[in-house]
Amino acid sequence: MAQSNVKKKPVGKMLIMGLISIALYALLLAKQDDVNSIFARGGWYAFLPIITAFVFSFFHGSFTGDFWTVLGVEAARKKKEVK
Amino acid sequence: MHDIATNFINLDAITILYLFGVGFVGGLVSGFIGSGGAFVLTPGMMSLGVPGLMAVASNMCHKFPKALVGAMKRFKYGQVDVKLGLVLGVSAEAGVLYGAGIQEKIKATFGDAGSNLYVSVAFVVILATVGGFVLYDAWKTYRSGNANTEEKAGKLAMWIQSINIPGTMVYFKSINARVSILFTIPLGFATGMMAATIAVGGFVGVPAMIYVLGAPSLMASATELVIAFVMGLGGSLKYALSGMVDIRLAMIILAGSLFGIQLGAIGTTYVKPFMIKVVMGVIMVIVLFSRGLMVPVYLSQLGLIETLGEGTVKLLKTASFAIMIFALLLGAFIVLRAMWQGRKAERLQHASGALEHGKI
């Protein structure tokens, strides 16, 4: 499907995801008192930490994956499926 | 209603860096052995003054998104048995709920010191028995010179696989055999109970998959990430319902651990399978001593033994902390070293291959 002849490093995607991650963390820490008081209410508010975790993992997970790829740290070639 | 809300610690730059760093190394180890970040993260948070239960809850809330990212990464390498992970995960969920219920009762009855003592004793008992066995097995493999050969299911696993209970048999690709779910249910339940208690279900789940079901180490450690996701999600929700998750702690640890888990997962593609057992066993046995040193402190706080002097408590806490950091760094060192050597060997092999084919 995708062309695999030239391995292009996902620098642009990494930067975008990295910036979104930083923004999310900045927001969380800047508003930590409000966040603590709302998230610790329990009951239906329990979904807030769960949703937060999913959102952070999506953006930050994508960023960290690309981060190592851009640095050239990738899985062993022998274990990869040969096309 | 929830006095726990008053227990939020203050976050300064040092604390954030510390949590990020511990998260990174914890993630590195988790990405490699499928679990295990929490054995450092839970006491790590406790050392900052976070009550045991909140440390367990916050750790769990960083664990499920981390496990999800790690499982997806290792799925790409063909190491994950999703069906086994889900089957064990569902029964683990029941174990988590049961274990969390016990935890809450202990906290209500004996307070934070009681909760901390329970967590520490569970750590010591599990790490001593399972960790000792895993390390012994890794040492046996190393001594036998069979480190390079493919792993075979042990006698117990062969026996379990040979039992046919009609209507309960399920085929699992990691085991390459049909196993009765009557065996997987208690294993999952025990994994979940451990996760709710010491936040590291994998110290039961991974050895159980290897020694009881007969799964290869690499697949067991990768599949554990699926279990960790399922039970971490349910467990987090359960704790969050009582407002016990400190999302700041969970997300800061997640920040470091996602860097680590990616690296640890990549590392598994370079090493011999028995290295999973080496890393797991070494860390478990060292952390056992770290937590063991704290048991007298909590016993003293509960008035069950003579009150310890301030100097003694400080000494025990410092020693416990130092040993934990040592375990953490040693685990990370073994993973990175194994990965480095694997990469070096691959480069050499690649270069000699190219030479042979006249490409250079």
Is the residue at A34 inside a domain? yes
Which of B11, B242, B255 shows the shortest C-beta gap to A60?
B255
Tell whether B73 lies on the interface with A, counting CB pairs under 8 A: yes
Residue A8 has pLDDT above 90, yes or no: no
Q: Give the number of beta-carbon pairs within 8 Å between A and B.
A: 124
Is the residue at A36 inside a domain? yes
Alpha-carbon gap: A48 to the closest alpha carbon of chain B (Å)? 9
ipTM summary value: 0.89
Residue given tokens 């190491």 in the structure block: B79
Residue A12: burial class (beta carbons within 10 Å; 0-12, 13-18, 19+) = exposed
- For B241, name the nearest residue in chain A, comparing CA atoms only: A42
Please, which pLDDT band fits residue A2 given cuts at 50, 70 and 90?
Answer: very low
Residue given tokens 């969920």 in the structure block: B93
Is the residue at A19 inside a domain? yes
Is the residue at A77 inside a domain? no
Q: How far apart are CA B293 and CA B319, in angstroms?
A: 8
pLDDT tens, residue order, chain B (360 aa): 444 445 688 888 999 998 999 899 889 989 999 876 776 787 778 878 888 778 888 988 999 999 999 999 999 999 999 999 999 999 999 998 898 889 889 989 988 888 888 888 888 898 899 999 999 999 998 888 777 777 788 889 999 999 999 999 999 999 999 999 999 999 999 998 888 787 678 888 999 999 999 999 999 999 999 999 998 898 899 889 989 999 999 999 999 999 999 999 999 999 888 899 999 999 889 988 888 898 898 888 888 888 888 899 999 988 988 888 888 789 889 999 989 998 888 888 888 877 776 655
Please, which pLDDT band fits residue A6 given cuts at 50, 70 and 90?
Answer: low
Which of B241, B342, B350 shows the shortest C-beta gap to A43?
B241
Tell whether A23 lies on the interface with B, counting CB pairs under 8 A: no
Query: Which of B258, B261, B340, B349 should one mutate to test binding to chain A, selecting the residue with the greatest count of A CBs within 10 A?
Result: B258
DSSP 3-state of B180: strand
Is the residue at A78 inside a domain? no
B205: nearest Cα among B30, B35, B32: B35
Is residue B196 within 8 Å of B99, Cβ to Cβ? yes
Domain ranges of chain B: 3-347
- For A24, name the nearest residue in chain B, comparing CA atoms only: B251
Interface of B with A in 220-249 (CB under 8 A): 233, 236-237, 240-248
Specify the pLDDT at position B6: 56
Interface of B with A in 122-151 (CB under 8 A): none
Alpha-carbon gap: B5 to the closest alpha carbon of chain A (Å)? 6
Q: How far apart are the first and last CA of chain A?
A: 11
Give the residue ranges of DSSP H helices in chain B.
13-33, 38-46, 52-76, 82-126, 132-144, 155-162, 181-198, 202-207, 217-241, 247-267, 274-301, 310-356
Domain region containing A53: 11-70
Is residue B233 within 8 Å of B225, Cβ to Cβ? no
- For B76, name the nearest residue in chain A, comparing CA atoms only: A80
- For B242, name the nearest residue in chain A, comparing CA atoms only: A42
Is the residue at A48 inside a domain? yes
Which of B66, B241, B269 shows the shortest C-beta gap to A75?
B269
Is the residue at A39 inside a domain? yes
CA-to-CA separations, A22 to A28, B95, B235, in angstroms, rounded? 10, 36, 27
| Domains identified in chain A, total number | 1
C-beta atoms surrounding B176 within 10 Å: 12
Is the residue at A22 inside a domain? yes
* Of B328 and A47, the one with more pLDDT: A47
Please, which pLDDT band fits residue A80 given cuts at 50, 70 and 90?
Answer: very low
